[in-house]
Structure 1
């Protein structure tokens, strides 16, 4: 990282370092010059504590993850979550026709319908991220004269989709889930997306919610188009 790429998790001010390494393995946490608090208290915390704070959507935890770490698993996490979502959609297509034999899962995943559902899920996620980035580019870049770091925003959006990992129990326990549960997972993911945008841009909660709503509108339009258009993939899959 550069000299001033770190951020204080409390006040969001830039900092040259998180800690200073003295001889004999002695570390001293850097104090923020602005708020007089530790720049990043999470460097001493257990990863489980950091994860819990991130699940609680704490601003300090998001700043630690997005600014003060070099976590580059966003693409792998994205693909993993899309696989879970694709399996759920595929299972909804088949309903009670699925076999209860666990060995059949390998055969199921080879069907083109599963890959079609994966493509639809990826398309909707792309529409959501594209809608958010377009909104930020127009509002921040054009109207407000700012320069939003769209690549950093994209990384934040993908990382903040970690809530989709909650779909794993639905994949493991087959149909032991409900639309209410899936709706709550969706709400949690959108809340995390909003918090990530708020942290990256240091903006108000209302502005980040507007960006997420615009992205959700784009995702919904793409999803409806995939269902309504005669050449849609979903219609071709369900008609077979």
Structure 2
């Protein structure tokens, strides 16, 4: 039982996705040798020696090798050490969604400059509530679809992997913070959301090893449910 558990916590080969015992052997500080995968015979994780910007570029290009490195070998989403990362990621995800909603509503009410403090607090609370409920619906629908469509066992560790992979792969939402400095048209929000959706599909495919079409159906359904919830709460078409 202990042997099976330790094997489940092994890192992954970024090429084929198989588990490997170790990614490198360190002979001295700064002197390491990258190990090869027993299945594909290639270096298990060449990203270990890469700069962060190279990894980020490959993530933006949606390379599955970069996502396997980030999710399995860097963050180790299969272990019990990811609980703090999961909570922090969910909070950040909700804050960025609240900012997106606020920015969309603010552009429609530019002429309303005499908003009272109480009204401002009320609007802020409403936006946060909408973002919170929208993300609850998003996560519930996502996990339900994973269980039904992808037919995965609904174990705690398993759905935590899926949820963390999808939220971590939504990193492009951070670019919305640039709107605090520069003015962008509303179409930028749509472009960012499309990019986040495509990134979520790649991450979900890496974790579940299912087809791209089925992963697209899961992510699109969850986003559609969140969008409809936000429109209903905000009273927008």
Q: Same fold (TM over 0.5)?
A: yes
Structure 2 gaps, min length 5: 77-81
Q: 1:129 aligns with which of 139, 158, 162?
A: 139
1:154 aligns with 2:182: no
State the distance in 2 between where 1:108 and 1:52 align. 44
Structure 1 residues 110 and 30, CA gap change in structure 2 (3 angstroms): farther
The alpha-carbon deviation at position 110 of structure 1 amounts to: 6.7
Query: Residue 110 of structure 2 aligns with which residue?
Result: 96
Alignment length, in residue pairs? 220
TM-score, length basis structure 2: 0.80
Q: 2:25 aligns with which of 13, 16, 20?
A: 20
Structure 1 gaps, min length 5: 229-233, 235-240
State the distance in 2 between where 1:178 and 1:169 align. 12
SS class of match (2:169): helix
Query: Residue 39 of structure 1 aligns with which residue?
Result: 44
State the distance in 2 between where 1:65 and 1:16 align. 17
Query: Residue 54 of structure 1 aligns with which residue?
Result: 59
SS class of match (2:110): helix
- 1:213-237 Cα shifts (integer Å, max 9, x gaps): 2212322332243245xxxxx9xxx
Query: Residue 211 of structure 1 aligns with which residue?
Result: 218
Contact 2:93–2:167 (Cα < 8 Å) also in 1: no
Q: CA RMSD in A?
A: 3.0
Query: Residue 80 of structure 1 aligns with which residue?
Result: 92
Contact 2:135–2:226 (Cα < 8 Å) also in 1: yes
Contact 1:30–1:38 (Cα < 8 Å) also in 2: yes
